[in-house]
């Protein structure tokens, strides 16, 4: 039997098209980019998580001379959030990076998607994922699971 999966996402062309909370989260992700440590790839990424208790926790990619030891911005932010507030649900994750050409939607790597979806699973709620580039081109997914169908789950 053939089956089909459809995902929905929304694109905006400027920050002010979003609600104030999401605007603020994307601005935080953009500010977080400045502290990325990316001397090897020179590709800086910023991220920010908004929790249900309204805490905002930022992160950025952190590279290392032993390349695989580095970590993406999304996971730095998500792990920091979970380390500090393990039982607080996530409302939204914002990610900011510069795109090379205006047509490509910047979107998280596969390993980050796996981590993103597990926090939805353990909290039993989905959260928004907001992506933005330097031109304020924004892509919104209503669930991180939209970015990873058939995620690996134990049990
Ligand atoms: N990177 C992120 O921080 N997030 C992503 O979703 C993709 C890639 C980082 C990892 C590495 O430091 C640099 O960008 C180049 O891959």
> What is the DSSP secondary-structure string of 98-118?
--SSTTSPP---HHHHHHHHH
Looking at the structure of the chain, the number of domains it has is: 1
**Ligand 1 mean position, distance from CA 34 (Å):** 14
In a domain, 81, yes or no: yes
In a domain, 74, yes or no: yes
d(CA 41, CA 38): 6
58 CB-contact burial (10 Å; exposed 0-12 / middle 13-18 / buried 19+)? buried
Q: Quote the pLDDT of residue 90.
A: 98
Ligand 1 contact, 147 CB (< 6 A):
no
Q: Quote the pLDDT of residue 13.
A: 94
What percentage of the chain has pLDDT greater than the value 90? 95
In a domain, 150, yes or no: no
63: domain CATH number is 3.40.140.10
Residue 100 pLDDT greater than 90, yes or no: no
Please give the average per-residue pLDDT across 88-97, as a whole number: 98
Residue 112 pLDDT greater than 70, yes or no: yes
In a domain, 148, yes or no: no
Both structure tokens of 4: 């089909």
Q: Which atom of ligand 1 is nearest to the CA of 38?
A: 12
Question: Residue 140 in contact with residue 9, Cβ under 8 Å?
Answer: yes
| Range of the structural domain that residue 40 is part of | 10-140
Question: Residue 119 in contact with residue 82, Cβ under 8 Å?
Answer: yes
Residue bearing the CA closest to ligand 1, atom 4: 72
Start-to-end CA distance of the chain, whole Å, equals: 25
Ligand 1 contact, 61 CB (< 6 A):
yes
d(CA 118, CA 144): 9
In a domain, 124, yes or no: yes
In a domain, 89, yes or no: yes
Confidence of residue 41 (pLDDT cuts 50, 70, 90): very high
**Ligand 1 mean position, distance from CA 97 (Å):** 9
d(CA 20, CA 22): 6
Question: Residue 125 in contact with residue 89, Cβ under 8 Å?
Answer: yes
In a domain, 101, yes or no: yes
Ligand 1 contact, 72 CB (< 6 A):
yes
In a domain, 18, yes or no: yes
d(CA 141, CA 105): 12
User: How crowded is residue 12: how many other Cβ atoms within 10 Å of its Cβ?
Assistant: 17
Mutate to test the pocket of ligand 1, among 70, 97, 105, 130 (most ligand atoms within 8 A of CB): 97
Put simply, whether the predicted model's pTM sits higher than 0.85 gets the answer: yes
């Amino acid at each position: 039997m053939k089956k089909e999966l459809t995902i929905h996402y929304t694109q905006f062309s400027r920050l002010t098209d979003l609600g104030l909370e999401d605007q603020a989260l994307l601005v935080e992700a953009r500010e977080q980019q400045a502290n990325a440590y990316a001397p090897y790839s020179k590709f800086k990424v910023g991220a920010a998580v908004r929790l249900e208790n309204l805490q905002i926790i930022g992160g950025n990619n952190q590279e290392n001379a032993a390349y695989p030891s580095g970590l993406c911005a999304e996971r730095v932010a998500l792990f920091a959030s979970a380390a500090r507030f393990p039982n607080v649900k996530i409302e939204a994750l914002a990610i900011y990076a510069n795109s090379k050409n205006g047509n490509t939607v910047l979107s998280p790597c596969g390993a980050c998607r796996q981590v993103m979806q597990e926090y939805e699973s353990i909290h039993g709620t989905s959260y928004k994922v907001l992506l933005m580039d330097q031109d304020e081109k924004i892509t919104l997914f209503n669930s991180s699971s939209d970015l990873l169908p058939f995620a690996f789950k134990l049990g």
